[in-house]
Amino acid sequence: MSIELSGIHYRYAETIALRGIDLSIESGELLALLGPSGCGKTTLLRVIAGLEFPDRGMVRFEGRDLTLVSARKRHVGFVFQHYALFNHLTVFENVAFGLRVRGWRLRPKRADLERRVGELLELVQLGELAKRYPAQLSGGQRQRVALARALAVEPEILLLDEPFGALDARVRGDLRRWLRGLHDRIHVTSVFVTHDQEEAFELADRIAVMNEGRIEQLADPQTLYTQPASPFVCRFLGEVNEIPAALHTRWTGARDAGAIAFVRPHDLDLVADSSGDARVDEVRDLGAVVRVEASHPALAVPLIAIHERGRFDESGLRRGDRVAISARRWVVFRADGTPV
């Protein structure tokens, strides 16, 4: 089921959370809302779910206007950041909840209900734990119960709020790949919120980068990385060197002294060169890669280069060495933030 949002504005008492969001999400797509905390991404997700109602704007599913329809009637699966499991119910009853609260005519028969819940628990690999209570489960298991519970009502849209935020790094990685696999199997239109760009890149078909209540850029991961629409997007997608640059336009003769060139640490080459201007300040071995900091007399902040272990070993760089610096790839933004 496709989702179209147009002109969504939302304000909490004093702060404006969303300032005119336009977004269409295709049926079967897996979309990430990525941004720093306070950028409005969770509010936007809650607007889609019907847990918040926008001050202005329209929410449509498959062309149907649902702006003022209650969450109860939207038929959307929602996975809460802290899962919001029913602590007084077993895993089985948690998953069965959505089926049990249906009107008596739509409520499945006992055998059907048990079969359906059983299938879902198998799907999330928790068949053995049906009789446990949420307090007896690990974080990753609770997460999967929350997911099974949301899927029990057969939603055509699945919304996940920071789905992996409360888990430790290893469980997070496993669960991420598992969720991607699940999405490829059941093809439900899914939107998830995250502040972790790695998570967004690994999971999503498309990513909406948000900042201060607006969508800065909506694109697939590769485009986002190679053609960022704004300095914000560039900075948010990971460590980047910002080098002041002067732009000189040959045809018009116009100059822009406030431009900035953005270079990723892995696109920066440092080569030992006794006549080079720059000097290596620091070398940090991070295992698979090595992080090198070098200062240049013309720059206020040191440049950061990240080299693969093999390449670094060949270069034989050490702290104090003089080096020549070159960049293999960069993006330049004008002083007003527009890309060149």
Partner 1 sequence: MNPARKPSTALRDPAWLRLPLLAIALLFVGLFLVLPLVAVFTYAFEKGVDFYLASLVDEDARAAIRLTLLVTAISVPANTVFGVAAAWLITRFTFSGKNLLVSLIDLPFAVSPVIAGLIYVLLFGAQGWLGPWLSENDIKIIYAVPGIVLATTFVTFPFVARELIPLMQAQGSEQEQAALTLGAGGWSMFWRVTLPKIGWGLVYGVILCNARAIGEFGAVSVVSGHIRGLTNTMPLHVEILYNEYNRTAAFAVASLLALIALVTLVLKQVAEWRMRRATPDHDIA
- Per CB under 8 A, residues contacting partner 1 are 49-51, 70-78, 80, 82, 84-89, 97-98, 100-102, 133-135, 137-140, 142, 149-150, 152-153, 166-168
CA distance 320 to 167: 41
State the nearest-atom distance from the C-beta of 143 to partner 1, in Å. 9
- 1 within 8 A of 157, measured Cβ to Cβ: yes
53 vs 80 by CB, closer to partner 1: 80
CA distance 29 to 192: 11
State the nearest-atom distance from the C-beta of 19 to partner 1, in Å. 23
- 82 within 8 A of 145, measured Cβ to Cβ: no
| Sequence-separated contacts (24+) of 163-170 with Cβ below 8 Å | 163/79, 163/81, 163/192, 163/194, 164/194, 164/196, 164/199, 165/81, 165/194, 165/195, 166/81, 166/82, 166/139, 167/139, 167/140, 167/143, 168/139
Short-list 311, 318, 315, 248, CA closest to 282: 318
35 vs 134 by CB, closer to partner 1: 134
34 vs 160 by CB, closer to partner 1: 160
Per DSSP, 178 falls in state H
- 213 within 8 A of 9, measured Cβ to Cβ: no
- 226 within 8 A of 297, measured Cβ to Cβ: no
How far from the centroid of its chain's Cα atoms is residue 87's Cα? 29
CA distance 30 to 321: 47
State the nearest-atom distance from the C-beta of 170 to partner 1, in Å. 12
